[in-house]
Amino acid sequence: MSVRQAVELGVEICGLRFPNPILTAAGPPVHDGMAVLACAAGGAGGQVTKTISRTAARPTTPNMAEVAHGFLNAELWSELPPERWIEREYAIARQAGLPVIVSLGYTAEDIADLAPSVRPFADALELSTHYIGEDAAPMVAAIRAAKAALDVPVFVKLSPLGREMRRAAEQAQAAGADAIVAINSFGPVLAIDVETATPRMGGQDGYGWLSGPAIKPLAVRCIHDVASAVEVPVIGCGGVSRGADVIEMLMAGASAVQVCTAAILRGPSVFGKIAAETATWLERHGYARPSEVVGLALGRDATRTSGVPLLDLALCNGCGLCELSCPEGAIRVVDGKAVIDEEHCSLCGLCISRCRPGALLWATPA
Ligand SMILES: Cc1cc2nc3c(=O)[nH]c(=O)nc-3n(C[C@H](O)[C@H](O)[C@H](O)COP(=O)(O)O)c2cc1C
């Protein structure tokens, strides 16, 4: 650990200055102008607004549910018509004085139609690719339509569908995208209420889209792949609920993050809490600003060929979780402390991840 220093959380992306790297993501926490202001008051560093399209959405009901480790939705885009946003909601959202990133969907025709009207309010656009399929052509056409209509940065938000993320990001960059947002919610998925034998989401198939902590490893993988493939900035999204999640996404190559589910479940003050945790983590580890950790994990090979985990005897509480889970039976708790059998340890690393007091660790970084 290095010497502590004051942390400056501000980040600059595509010429836009954000006081901290925790932005809103399109969704219920930013469903209208007042909600956007509440997120700003709660500490958000930038404001992405709920996706609008040429007509108001009419989602099926029910369309939201908390599930173990995650969240399901079948919400679509804004239920307010675009005229309402243009006449009222964007102007309210701008009162916070933070950059406003207007989320638009979906086709090139939609974007060409909507973009000129949102120009007075948009510091940047974010294009959702959620409902335009696997083929890159509609995404490319939408980006070109946005670039032709406006002179603000265009962020493209990728959905983690079957699509290969590197290729999709390269195509987006080649079409003129100024930043990539990774990722949207994952799906379709299905959850069933076993008391009533009915899907948790309404509609013909009961399908929904998964968000929250359950998708964070998927999001981190996508951020890592995209950041390795393109030069434009990457904004991470998916399962961020604490400062360590922000750091993880920055290390994977993101320059900032967006938060939706955590703000639904914990309210708008979650942005300030996550920002404070991020600052504390950076300070404790001797970093002065978020940019200093961006991409630190890129290109690092974690393969381990020797050296069993080390045990800090003072921290080991003899709980036995390591012994219980070791697939090789290579750990036993003897006299209240774990003992590792070096001959049988396969270096799988599971015990380290399960050790609650943090007594097990690799001797040196890979
Ligand atoms: C209820 C709900 C509604 C959402 N609506 C939109 C939307 O209108 N446009 C969009 O691009 N993403 C939308 N999303 C996706 C989020 O912006 C975000 O990409 C995703 O939920 C992963 O982030 P999280 O785990 O922080 O929620 C929505 C997510 C949820 C949960």
pLDDT in the model for residue 314: 97
Span from the CA of 58 to the centroid of ligand 1 (angstroms): 16
| Interval between CA 254 and ligand 1 midpoint (Å) | 18
230 lines ligand 1 (CB under 6 A): no
Domains and CATH numbers, the chain: 11-293 (3.20.20.70), 310-361 (3.30.70.20)
- Cβ of 268 closer than 6 Å to ligand 1, yes or no, is no
Q: How far apart are CA 295 and CA 279, in angstroms?
A: 18
Half-sphere exposure of 194 (CA within 13 A, CB side): 0
Please, are residues 26 and 49 in contact by the beta-carbon 8 Å criterion?
yes
Query: How would you list the strands of the sheet with 22-24, edge to edge?
Result: 22-24, 256-259, 234-237, 179-182, 154-158, 124-128, 100-104, 47-48
**241 C-beta closer than 6 A to ligand 1:** no
Q: Check if 159 has its Cβ closer than 6 Å to any atom of ligand 1.
A: no
The response to whether residue 240 sits with its C-beta less than 6 Å from ligand 1 reads: yes
In this prediction, residue 40 carries a pLDDT of 98
Q: How many angstroms separate the CA atoms of 242 and 249, rounded? A: 11
**Residue to mutate (ligand 1; options 71, 189, 211; most atoms within 8 A of CB):** 211
Give me the numbers of helices (H) and strands (E) for the chain, helices first please. Answer: 12, 20
Q: What is the pLDDT of residue 363?
A: 83
Residue 154 main-chain phi, psi, to 5 deg: -115, 115
Q: Contact at 8 Å (CB) between 211 and 188?
A: no
Task: For ligand 1, pick from 180, 260, 265 the residue to mutate: most ligand atoms within 8 Å of CB.
Answer: 260
At residue 1, the pLDDT reads 45
* Separation CA 102–CA 152 (nearest Å): 11
Among protein residues, the one with the nearest Cα to ligand 1's atom 14 is: 27
Give the number of other CB atoms < 10 A from CB of residue 204.
7
- The pLDDT value recorded for residue 2 is 47
Residue 342 and residue 333: Cα distance in Å, rounded? 14
Segments in the chain forming alpha helices (H): 33-41, 82-84, 90-94, 108-118, 136-149, 165-174, 216-229, 243-251, 261-266, 270-284, 321-325, 350-354
For residue 26, how far is its CA from the centre of ligand 1 (angstroms)? Answer: 5
The alpha carbon of 184 and the centre of ligand 1 are apart by a number of angstroms equal to 6
Degrees (nearest 5) of the Cα angle 356, 326, 346?
115
310: CA distance to ligand 1 center in Å?
41
How far apart CA 28 and CA 256 sit, in angstroms, is 20
25 lines ligand 1 (CB under 6 A): yes
| Torsion angle in degrees (nearest 10) through CA of 258, 59, 37, 113 | 90
Q: How much distance in Å is there from the Cα of 23 to the middle of ligand 1?
A: 13
**Taking the chain (366 residues) in consecutive chunks of 10 residues, what is each chunk's mean pLDDT?**
73 98 98 98 98 97 97 97 98 98 97 97 96 88 97 96 86 98 97 97 96 98 97 98 98 98 98 98 98 96 92 97 97 97 96 97 78
Quote the CA–CA distance of 295 and 319 in Å, as a whole number: 36
